[in-house]
């Protein structure tokens, strides 16, 4: 097995005295794990920061063996970890991706979307510049893993207009008219998810509440407590920034 490709660092786990096991997302070959000699040392630790883009080269004698990985830095996001909100966003999107995607399966749309979110955080570290992209990324991951939400028509009436809510059970949209009397039991669907508007703070928080409900139930339940903790830190910091 020999693979050489640009990739996004998702997770790094110390292994042995100085080494590290790294999981990185490539465009054509999905998530690839590898052992980096010296990966936990002073020289390579900054290179292997989650959200960094690296040129990775994986080599293994057999398909089942953990590959040896050598890395070259393409783009560093280290400076963003000095910004609390930006750091929380990068921690969350990389932890979510690492916890969700199976290894060795290509998800080019996910790779492109994750790269876009990271670029958006880098361009505007304040949450207002990237929060909408983050919500859309969470929706994409749900869809790619087979848990997509249907926001195209009302699950109760088939209406395609004024879809203001989402059923927490089915994940289907609900029109404002069909939701009368049940609003408290439904999740609000922000207009930006239907191509209307850019999303104000209230709508962004509605979007995070919506995606968070299904991420926790369908993708992360019982197996990704650390990832959920990263999301809680992000939402808490975002709310403090708004106040």
Distance CA 229, CA 193 (A): 25
Tell me the average pLDDT across 77-91.
93
Q: How many CB atoms lie within 10 A of CB 147?
A: 15
- CATH code where residue 171 lies: 1.20.1440
Q: Is the confidence at residue 35, as pLDDT, over 80?
A: yes
Stated pTM of the model: 0.93
In the listed set 48, 76, 104, which residue is the last one of a domain according to the structure? 76
pLDDT in tens, 226-243: 788 889 999 998 888 876
Q: Could you report how far apart the first and last alpha carbons of the chain are, in Å?
A: 52
Between CA 154 and CA 163 the distance in angstroms is 7
Q: How large is the average pLDDT for residues 29-48?
A: 93
Residues 67 and 84 in one domain: no
Q: What DSSP line would sit under 24-54, residue for residue?
A: EEETTTEEEEEEETTTTSTTTTTTT-TT-EE
Q: Which of 58, 76, 94 represents a domain boundary (last residue)?
A: 76
> How many domains, the chain?
2
Residue 86 sits in which domain range?
80-242
Q: Which of 41, 76, 111 is the last residue of a domain?
A: 76
Digit-coded pLDDT (tens) for 130-178: 999 999 999 999 999 999 999 999 999 999 999 999 999 999 999 999 9
């Amino acid at each position: 097995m020999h693979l050489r490709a640009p990739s996004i660092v998702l997770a790094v786990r110390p292994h042995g005295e100085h080494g590290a096991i790294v999981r990185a997302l490539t465009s054509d070959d999905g998530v690839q794990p590898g052992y980096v000699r010296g990966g936990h040392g002073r020289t390579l630790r900054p290179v292997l920061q989650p959200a960094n883009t690296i040129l990775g080269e994986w080599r293994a004698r057999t398909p089942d063996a953990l590959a040896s990985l050598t890395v070259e830095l393409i783009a560093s996001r280290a400076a963003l970890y000095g910004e609390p909100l930006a750091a929380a966003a990068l921690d969350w999107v990389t932890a979510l991706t690492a916890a969700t995607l199976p290894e060795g399966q290509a998800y080019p749309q996910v790779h492109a979307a994750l790269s876009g979110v990271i670029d958006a955080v880098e361009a505007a570290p304040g949450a207002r510049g990237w929060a909408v992209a983050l919500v859309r990324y969470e929706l994409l991951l749900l869809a790619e893993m087979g848990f997509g939400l249907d926001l195209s028509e009302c699950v109760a009436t088939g209406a395609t207009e004024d879809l203001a809510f989402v059923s927490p059970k089915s994940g289907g949209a609900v029109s404002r008219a069909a939701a009368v009397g049940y609003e408290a039991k439904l999740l609000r669907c922000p207009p930006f998810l239907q191509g209307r508007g850019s999303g104000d703070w209230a709508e962004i928080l509605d979007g995070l509440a919506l995606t968070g409900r299904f991420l926790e139930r369908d993708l992360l339940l019982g197996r990704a407590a650390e990832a959920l903790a990263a999301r809680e830190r992000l939402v808490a910091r975002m709310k403090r920034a708004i106040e």
